Structure 1
């Protein structure tokens, strides 16, 4: 039997807030931080950052500032919630910042693509290491002839992959999409440029660094909880920030709290949570994060299909700036002729002893590799997300999801 998490009682919350106040005073004294320092809460619209902002304001009032980096891949509920949370807490309005990519950024990328895509390129890692990809500039080669069949399949009309790439390498007006276009791919587990560029750097450049340049000492409060992952559990509760170790510090006030504690604090202060938590969300952030799990994808497809459609449209553009997708899209032809190349010292292409299956990759996949599929489209991933373990049979629970009723996994439904 599944039971809703038990919320702790308000008197415990009061004691936990006192612990934060005492611990913070100790850190301020230990690190010799002046009493007139500035507190900046890193806000996301989620439960943990909301709790952190409420605690900070309760203890320090208008000394506290707050900033949220909008990635342009947020749910509209979250953006609206962030814009109005000050009315519930009584704090300053949240400062919304955003990384804007300029025409100059894209001009620099276009120059790079025009230079490098003209040349053949050896693959440096993976099963295809040592294989040489052809030029994506020439229009009179067998590869270009084969690629134009891909173009027809995609519904576009260009002579070469380079022409196709240059057609979309311009600001779109959406920061998340622009970042993907400039990188030639979507973020991945080992390359989360979305977090670095759209969140961390945007907040620092537009909200925190200006304070540092004015001579302020700043302590960032973040709603990181250790029980979310082993990596987060290893974080120090308080430390100097490497970007400016004499004037910038990081504090994790609720590092040892649970999700139940966080929602108990919402109740303690009379704060209504982000409405996404009443609609099945386990976490609040990008809608969706490229790394989200199977259940989150199924929930989004059922409740917010316009976000799925958004990602499908992004895939169609980002594949045009992916050299790998252009090469792999020609399938059988490409992967048969590549074996004629020899590596240095007369060695034949071994592909690490593998005989790769013939592939026909048409997508720079937003969700990456899922369900054993190499580069599935958003639509393929949504269908897979509706299945049970193993990805073979549809899950009847997911198929019958009632989007009209509260389905909070934190016991928030009344």
Structure 2
């Protein structure tokens, strides 16, 4: 995102823009026949956009407004502290913080499924390994089982089988993000963002919205979604019914057409100091880090807050034990000799699986960041080293390598 200075927006512009939101909201209420005594609920993340949204809502409606934040347990401590104290700046009610707690009963069901599934062979249905019969992970008396024991030695763990290793970590850890990854057997990915679904959207609905609707209340969620952020978000309607309960739940995007400069101008207009992470190189705040964050964000985090890098490394070591695919692919040499005995057809010196040429892998990790820099499944340390390089991932970027973490660094021109 480009560096946008809030100075280009004058205070009178903000006043007009806030009045436009009030007028538009009033029109939508009439159009959708929303009762006057509806509940206004701000989805708060402690970022610049949700802070702006909460400020505008309170400015217009005062103490009628409730703000709710979902803590994923993968947030920066400064973000949680900001959320718990922002009401002192806005003059509003405190932000309600909710969290998805995974229970022992949920892990018990997962263990039952793992025990039943991992004891059996499985035929891969899709991808380059389609048609390959993958072995049981509950035997140590097979060629695969003996080979896996070498994996266990390499990993520094002592279990007879991969199934035993998985069962050892399938218990609540006390951290919601890690528990979600353990239950899914992987970290969130672009096409499987269960972190957002379970740790944010669903918990706010279950803990706050549904009880209100069950009591007969009509709820309008105010969210700080802006069109500038992505093509997908640009296509969102500014006001609409929520499909989860279209008669009682609505969504409103008050700052949908605002820019980042507008957002920080409002902070200045109301005398609100933004989340301090914005003064320390952060482009956006929330998960620290988001599994989908970019190269620059990874480099910044590693330089400024290495303790989060260490935490993610510990999570990787546990989540790989809960991943059936990682156990399968950690065994053998690069050409996966054991696979040829399980169904791989050989044609000359080329390995083929039912007519396909597989991209043979040798996976050691359920990587927190997923595939990066052409690496199949790199661990956190490998991704961080890649993030320090320039385009192409081969030569270190001297700017990234010389980050001064002691001075203000804002991508939005906030440093004085």
| TM-score, L = length of structure 2 | 0.96
Question: 1:95 and 1:352, CA in 2 relative to 1: closer, same or farther beyond 3 A?
Answer: farther
Aligned residue number for residue 354 of structure 1: 357
Question: 1:157 and 1:342, CA in 2 relative to 1: closer, same or farther beyond 3 A?
Answer: closer
Aligned residue number for residue 401 of structure 2: 399
Give, in angstroms, the shift of residue 350 of structure 1.
2.5
1:57-104 CA-to-partner distances (Å, cap 9, x unmatched) read 000001100100000000000000000000000111000000000000
1:53-64 residue pairs with structure 2 within 5 A?
53-64=54-65
1:277-318 CA-to-partner distances (Å, cap 9, x unmatched) read 000111011000000000000000000000000000000000
Give, in angstroms, the shift of residue 370 of structure 1.
0.3
Aligned residue number for residue 410 of structure 2: 408
Aligned residue number for residue 69 of structure 1: 70
Query: Contact 2:71/2:99 (CA < 8 Å) preserved in 1?
Result: yes
Partners of 1:172 and 1:404 in 2: CA distance: 34
Partners of 1:80 and 1:352 in 2: CA distance: 56
Give, in angstroms, the shift of residue 331 of structure 1.
3.1
Is residue 2:383 matched to residue 1:381?
yes
1:12-51 residue pairs with structure 2 within 5 A?
12-51=13-52
1:133-177 CA-to-partner distances (Å, cap 9, x unmatched) read 100011211101000111011110001000000000000000000
Which of 368, 371, 374 is 1:369 aligned to?
371
Query: Contact 1:127/1:351 (CA < 8 Å) preserved in 2?
Result: no
Query: Contact 2:4/2:260 (CA < 8 Å) preserved in 1?
Result: no
Structure 2 gap ranges (5+): 345-350
Query: Contact 1:407/1:413 (CA < 8 Å) preserved in 2?
Result: yes
Query: Contact 2:134/2:342 (CA < 8 Å) preserved in 1?
Result: no
Query: Contact 1:341/1:349 (CA < 8 Å) preserved in 2?
Result: no
SS in 2 for 1:91: coil
Partners of 1:294 and 1:94 in 2: CA distance: 32
Partners of 1:109 and 1:198 in 2: CA distance: 18
Give, in angstroms, the shift of residue 332 of structure 1.
1.8
Question: 1:147 and 1:342, CA in 2 relative to 1: closer, same or farther beyond 3 A?
Answer: closer
SS in 2 for 1:127: coil
Partners of 2:195 and 2:75 in 1: CA distance: 12
Aligned residue number for residue 348 of structure 2: none
Give, in angstroms, the shift of residue 339 of structure 1.
2.5
Q: RMSD of the TM alignment (CA)?
A: 1.5
Query: Contact 2:343/2:353 (CA < 8 Å) preserved in 1?
Result: no
Aligned residue number for residue 347 of structure 2: none
Structure 1 gap ranges (5+): none
1:17-42 CA-to-partner distances (Å, cap 9, x unmatched) read 01000000000000101100010000
Q: How many residues are aligned here?
A: 409
Query: Contact 1:127/1:352 (CA < 8 Å) preserved in 2?
Result: no
Is residue 2:119 matched to residue 1:118?
yes
Query: Contact 2:241/2:251 (CA < 8 Å) preserved in 1?
Result: yes
Query: Contact 1:131/1:349 (CA < 8 Å) preserved in 2?
Result: no
Aligned residue number for residue 304 of structure 1: 305
Question: 1:197 and 1:213, CA in 2 relative to 1: closer, same or farther beyond 3 A?
Answer: same
Deviation beyond 6 Å, 4+ runs, structure 1: none
Query: Contact 2:162/2:327 (CA < 8 Å) preserved in 1?
Result: yes
